[in-house]
Structure formats: structure tokens, C-alpha cells
Structure 1
């Protein structure tokens, strides 16, 4: 392949990636402005500057498109650097959960609520599979290592304690505001997770 051909191929891929990003931006814009129930392929296509045919070539239904948009934006908990410091690591992993709400422009839990009673809750499962469960698992590993080092009570290195932080962030986003503030994340670490693991706790 000549240099010019390679350059052309890269440009084509970039246009494809650019279109995909525009579609996903349009998905989140529509979710914020018209909501899950009123979001349609027509609306997204118009907002993204493309055609409905292009969307249907890739997705059979809006639920699949929305799930892919969420997946595209979600952070990867596996990318969170862990230091061996319990507080810092739990805080970093909860920030990852927090970032999942920010990355979806505050619509992640709106989508989960909208899917309640739905026969195929793709978005809820995407968020659980890609962020919540990995973060709970990684927090559990952080706690188990800390217990092995004698820093926390061994019985506190449990799935229940590991899940308490992510659960509080989900509750905040559902009940209070879609975007979880930094100070709330820190408070969950210092006032809930760490006290549950403290060796002096009863």
C-alpha cells in the first residue's frame, strides 16, 4: 500500500470514528432533552447529521444503540491505578463509578430507571457489567489485601462492605442529583467504607 493510500485509509477510519462519536453525542443530547421514552432513531439521526438508514445498519433497535453509546462512554475500572493504600484505592475506584455518571452526562441512572420493567434492560446490564461489578470486585480485592496486611478487620473484607460505596453513589444519583459531587464520594469513603473496616469497630 502506498503512503497516499495509507493516509486515505486512516482518514476514512477517522471519519467513521467521528460519525460514531457524533451519533453517541446525539444520543446523550436527546436523552437529556426529550428523555428515554421519546428518543427515536429519527431524532438521533437528525441531531447527528446522518440518516436513519445508517443507524439501522448498525443497530436493530434504539435500546441497542443506547447501550453501545453508554458502553462507549463508560470508564474502565481496570485502568484505575492501585497503590496499596486502602483509602486512596477505594476512593479512586469510587471515583470511577462517579465518572460513569459524568461520562454519560448524568443520564446513566435515568436510563436504568426508564428500563424498569423492560423485558431487555440492556443499559442497566451494561452499567453493571462494565463499571459497578468490576469496581465492587476490585474494592473487595483492595480490602482482602489490606486484611492480609493486618490493616483492617478480616471479616470486613466482604462483598457487602465492598458494595457499600458503589451502592451509595448509585442511590445519590437516583434520588438526589444525576452527577455525584466529589465531596460526597470522599464522605462515603471516610464515613461509611473505612469505619466498616476499622479494627476498633464493633
Structure 2
């Protein structure tokens, strides 16, 4: 067996987190152990237990570091472009962990709301919904969308469809699917109805 390599700080964390995702990909959540991660990262189990009390704590931190942050997406005021940008955060969330963590843990934990799913929801999906709701409210104030469409239910429709797609088809979310969700689902939900007093709303959404 290859002896442990003494590393500290960011280099050690990166090696450990890389090992976590590789173990999830190759052996799955149920068979992932602190021993196996330590071996794959060329460190010791003692080093892991100094940092994390359990494998769930270790996996959660690895995910939080790898996942994108919707709060960092700069909104432009263009409804369609901003929806695309925020939904891409969800898209990246499923590929930034080597495309396997979400599905593996959800399946092997035997529960739709397993630990990894909860982490993805808390750090990506719900913040994405919150920011979409924010942009819809701002767009409603400008007259770009119907005021009654700026609701959490509408804001959550896009992220929910992306999560559902990933569970059925796998973690790779095609750009074309995101465009379809924006153009065929979300924008029609918020567009002004025929005869609306602000006909410019449709033009804005269609550009």
C-alpha cells in the first residue's frame, strides 16, 4: 500500500474531496467509508476524523465546496437571460460533483430526500428559486411580467423541472432542455395575457 503523503491546507482538502467524489462514483454511498477515502486520498483515517465526525459530514462539506452559488449570479434585467443564468446553476450542480453524487446517494439512501439531495436543495435549488422570485418581482415592477405571476410557485417551476429531469435521465442537463424550460414553461407563465394594458411586455419577453 502506498504510504500516506503529508499534506496540509488546501492541497489536503482537495485530495480528500476528490477522493470522496471518486468513491461515490465507483463504490456508491452505502460502501463509502472513511477508511476508503483516506486510502484514496493517501492520508490517514485519523486526519479525516479530526475534521469530520462522520462520512455524512465529510460528504456534505465536499458538496458545499463543489456546488455553484446562485447568489453570485449577476442579474442583468433581461428576464430570459437571467432565467437562463440561474437555471445553469442547477445544471452545474449536477455535473460539478462528477455527475454522480446526487443520484447515487438519493438511490442508496432509499429516500428521495437523502442527505446529498438536501444539501443540493439547501445550497443551490432553493437559493435559485429565491433569486428567480426576486427577478420576477423586479420585472413585475417594471411592467415586464404580470404582477400575479411573481410567485414562489412560478419561480420554483424551472428548478423543479431540472431536478425531475436529472432523476429520470441522469445528471447531464442539456442546454436545449434548459432553453425549453425557459421558453415553453416559465416565460409563458409570466407573459402578459392578450389585451393586457401593457402590450410592450410581450415584446420584452420575446426578444
- If the length of structure 2 is used for normalisation, what is the TM-score? 0.85
Unaligned runs of 5+ in 2: 1-5, 195-207
Q: 2:108 aligns with which of 105, 109, 114?
A: 114
Partners of 1:76 and 1:191 lie apart in 2 by 25
Partners of 1:107 and 1:58 lie apart in 2 by 24
Partners of 1:158 and 1:107 lie apart in 2 by 32
After superposition, the CA RMSD in angstroms is: 2.1
Q: 1:48 aligns with which of 41, 46, 57?
A: 41
What does residue 82 of structure 2 align with? 89
Q: 2:30 aligns with which of 32, 37, 52?
A: 37
Q: CA deviation at 1:121?
A: 4.5
Q: Secondary structure of 2:31's partner?
A: coil
Unaligned runs of 5+ in 1: 1-11
Partners of 1:93 and 1:113 lie apart in 2 by 26
Aligned length: 189
Checking the alignment, whether the CA contact within 8 Å between 1:97 and 1:169 is kept in structure 2 is yes
**Greater per-residue helix proportion:** 1
Alignment of 1:67-106 (within 5 A): 67-106=60-99
Deviations 1:49-95 (A, max 9, x none): 11111111111111111111101101111110100000001110000
Q: 1:175 to 1:121 in 2, by over 3 A?
A: closer
Partners of 2:87 and 2:157 lie apart in 1 by 10
- If the length of structure 1 is used for normalisation, what is the TM-score? 0.87
Partners of 2:164 and 2:68 lie apart in 1 by 19
Q: CA deviation at 1:113?
A: 3.7
Partners of 1:108 and 1:135 lie apart in 2 by 20
Checking the alignment, whether the CA contact within 8 Å between 1:64 and 1:122 is kept in structure 2 is no
After the TM superposition, which parts of structure 1 deviate over 4 Å for at least 4 consecutive aligned residues?
none
Q: Is residue 180 of structure 1 aligned with residue 173 of structure 2? A: yes
Q: Secondary structure of 2:116's partner?
A: helix
Q: CA deviation at 1:115?
A: 3.3
What does residue 5 of structure 1 align with? none
Alignment of 1:183-198 (within 5 A): 183-198=176-191
